[in-house]
Chain A
């Protein structure tokens, strides 16, 4: 999904890593021109829960209540106030819902869950960020002030976190730039054990409703960034690497990340 047409796709090599995603999280062979894999990817349940997904803060259904602990993420202060400026005609933009935000400020996860992304190594499709450094993505600081974010090149770009080991990923809390009202296009959050994301890829969030980024159509909604970030249900997906895509935003063609928290538990062998 793009509002602007003059995006520069600078990383032609990225297309080689293009994946079609399946509803069960299993990786399908790359199929840049569509084909069978793409058809499967277009299924409504292709991308983690979809637009009609249940509360992303919901506790894992298969974990007994006694095995859960309460997680209270630390949210930064809001950097813009009042009604967000209209961001344009975005067909799959969700309506702001303050009550839904309140409902997920704390959530229940299995005992032993922690932010396993903090301090971990981050790589990117743009190895020379325009502003900031990649380590800001996992430094534990979600503040939107200058100096706290990394800006990547225009076009379809990703950041990738190496968790250092396999984890069962229960939640991912993601902050793009939230100092001004903006919507990031084609947000796609993937988990895999393959650092190149060619095999075993599960997409747990995908707002690319028209598959303009050729990673499979997603049924999740686009959203306006706020200081509360975006809470994504990882559903216990097992993997070592988390890759997050975006394709510019409504304010400009750049891609920004302030912080990514990954709440997980060590994978049980």
Chain B
């Protein structure tokens, strides 16, 4: 069944992969040049030949699967050979695009299957399976692929249930395949720069007391997905695969049977950053949220809105105990406004940092009295003086310390001079010049090439902690009270 010729070159030695790994892990492009972080093998590694090709399959050909496909174009070593999806409307274009658009990596046809079972049976030469299905299928499909001896790159959120995520950890332990979860910020050089250089090694932010994260997505961007003309899946087929109807099939994220709502869909990336940045997990969470908008009522435009099951807005507050003291982290996800987009902010007593996958959110601020000049000098500085008129400078707007006095000053009161002095503005001196998923996919492929699970940037155990962190917020919403985490919550027996 596999029409792909077996033309993958044989591995030519571990040292070659190690060199390339070192380069890829440690290098990052910067404005005006290339910044090599840490212990890079630099240009010598860059000149090394690409690693052996890994025959890969994609299961789930929707928007996230397409994001993986496009990101994979800059990842050497990926060789797509097959896809699976129950919906031909998505499956067929995915296979054709892999054949046509990614021609530099793909030879021959990309075979199409309706189910992962059929794919695994008929494509025995596949080494790695990428899973980008609705969340409820992550656990069973990961186990299925791992037990067939494959390596697995599974999209986040690990699962829509903690039990599902727990089983994924077990499946990872019980099998030998490399198992990566798609929290791609773990491999983003700008995020790594913030964590390793700004926060950990040089402690520029000082004691971080608070974090804030948000993903606000306006109605126009979060409107329910419809069905393309004449592309309905027959109800019999939908039922066979566990879907109630096309509305739920297309908008599975909003129904607990399949997904875990915007908090999971969007927040999983960002709440995970609270854990990852400080190598910890929270001790408690309080949260509020509900289906306040997509409740089936008639909208302002006179059109009846979809009726969803999972909260379309959530606000939650985590408490962490860091060695330096308590850190509180607030997160919000809204589907009714795109105000200020999506980013995370880390606030310490010496400085603050704003970061996002969108490069325009790239600001680091020094509190008064902290001179960061020396960190912006030398061959490969990890911060740079902020350019004039950088986007979003309004966050910490510069001004003269001598504020204009209000008209009332001489009449009724003195001006309030306790307002903080404006912060000194810097930027992270690292950018990502490829699609956000690419470094994480590369990290996975390198790990498969070398069969080195320790090389993974987000293994299943780390992702499990994030999954628990996120999903426990729902428990807090339901109970209407603070929920405490225990060490057992984050472990799998």
Q: Do A and B bind each other?
A: yes
Q: A residues within 8 Å of B by Cβ? A: 8, 10, 128-131, 141, 143, 145-148, 151, 153-154, 253
Whether B93 and A130, one on each chain, are in contact in the complex, defined by CB atoms closer than 8 angstroms, is yes
Q: How far is the CA of A175 from the CA of B328 in the complex (A)?
A: 54
As a 0/1 sequence over residues 224 to 257 of chain B, the CB contacts with chain A under 8 angstroms (1 = contact) are 0011111100000000000000000000000000
Q: How far is the CA of A145 from the CA of B96 in the complex (A)?
A: 21
Contacts of B96 in A (CB 8 A): 128-130, 153
In B159-192, the 8 Å CB interface with A consists of none
Contacts of A131 in B (CB 8 A): 89, 92-93
Q: How far is the CA of A154 from the CA of B73 in the complex (A)?
A: 15
Give the secondary structure class of A's interface: loop
Whether A10 and B229, one on each chain, are in contact in the complex, defined by CB atoms closer than 8 angstroms, is no
Query: B168: shortest Cβ distance to chain A, in Å?
Result: 33
As a 0/1 sequence over residues 82 to 108 of chain B, the CB contacts with chain A under 8 angstroms (1 = contact) are 000000010011001100110100000
CB-nearest residue of chain A to B100: A153
Whether B100 and A130, one on each chain, are in contact in the complex, defined by CB atoms closer than 8 angstroms, is yes
Whether B228 and A146, one on each chain, are in contact in the complex, defined by CB atoms closer than 8 angstroms, is yes
A-B pairs with lowest CB-CB distance, top 9: A147-B228, A147-B229, A146-B228, A130-B96, A130-B93, A131-B93, A153-B100, A147-B231, A8-B103
Contacts of A148 in B (CB 8 A): 228-229
Q: B residues within 8 Å of A by Cβ? A: 89, 92-93, 96-97, 100-101, 103, 226-231
Whether B101 and A154, one on each chain, are in contact in the complex, defined by CB atoms closer than 8 angstroms, is yes
Query: B80: shortest Cβ distance to chain A, in Å?
Result: 15
Q: How far is the CA of A129 from the CA of B99 in the complex (A)?
A: 12
Decide: A8 near B228, CB < 8 A? Known: A128-B96, A130-B93, A151-B93: no
Whether B231 and A10, one on each chain, are in contact in the complex, defined by CB atoms closer than 8 angstroms, is no
Decide: A145 near B228, CB < 8 A? Known: A128-B96, A130-B93, A151-B93: yes
7 pairs from A and B in contact (CB 8 Å cutoff): A130-B92, A130-B93, A131-B89, A141-B229, A146-B226, A146-B231, A253-B101
Whether B100 and A10, one on each chain, are in contact in the complex, defined by CB atoms closer than 8 angstroms, is yes
Query: B318: shortest Cβ distance to chain A, in Å?
Result: 38
CB-nearest residue of chain B to A145: B229
Contacts of B101 in A (CB 8 A): 8, 154, 253
Contacts of A128 in B (CB 8 A): 96
CB-nearest residue of chain B to A143: B229
Contacts of A146 in B (CB 8 A): 226, 228-229, 231
Contacts of A8 in B (CB 8 A): 100-101, 103
Q: How far is the CA of A147 from the CA of B232 in the complex (A)?
A: 10
Q: How far is the CA of A151 from the CA of B103 in the complex (A)?
A: 17
Q: How far is the CA of A253 from the CA of B228 in the complex (A)?
A: 22
Contacts of A151 in B (CB 8 A): 93
Q: How far is the CA of A145 from the CA of B227 in the complex (A)?
A: 9
Q: How far is the CA of A143 from the CA of B230 in the complex (A)?
A: 13
Query: A146: shortest Cβ distance to chain B, in Å?
Result: 4
Q: How far is the CA of A124 from the CA of B391 in the complex (A)?
A: 46
Contacts of A130 in B (CB 8 A): 92-93, 96-97, 100
Query: A51: shortest Cβ distance to chain B, in Å?
Result: 33
Contacts of A153 in B (CB 8 A): 96, 100
Contacts of B93 in A (CB 8 A): 130-131, 151
Contacts of B100 in A (CB 8 A): 8, 10, 130, 153-154
Contacts of B103 in A (CB 8 A): 8, 10
Q: How far is the CA of A154 from the CA of B226 in the complex (A)?
A: 27
Q: How far is the CA of A189 from the CA of B228 in the complex (A)?
A: 29
Q: How far is the CA of A141 from the CA of B229 in the complex (A)?
A: 11
Query: A77: shortest Cβ distance to chain B, in Å?
Result: 14
Q: How far is the CA of A145 from the CA of B229 in the complex (A)?
A: 8
Q: How far is the CA of A154 from the CA of B97 in the complex (A)?
A: 9
Contacts of B228 in A (CB 8 A): 145-148
Contacts of B227 in A (CB 8 A): 147
Contacts of B231 in A (CB 8 A): 146-147
Contacts of B229 in A (CB 8 A): 141, 143, 145-148
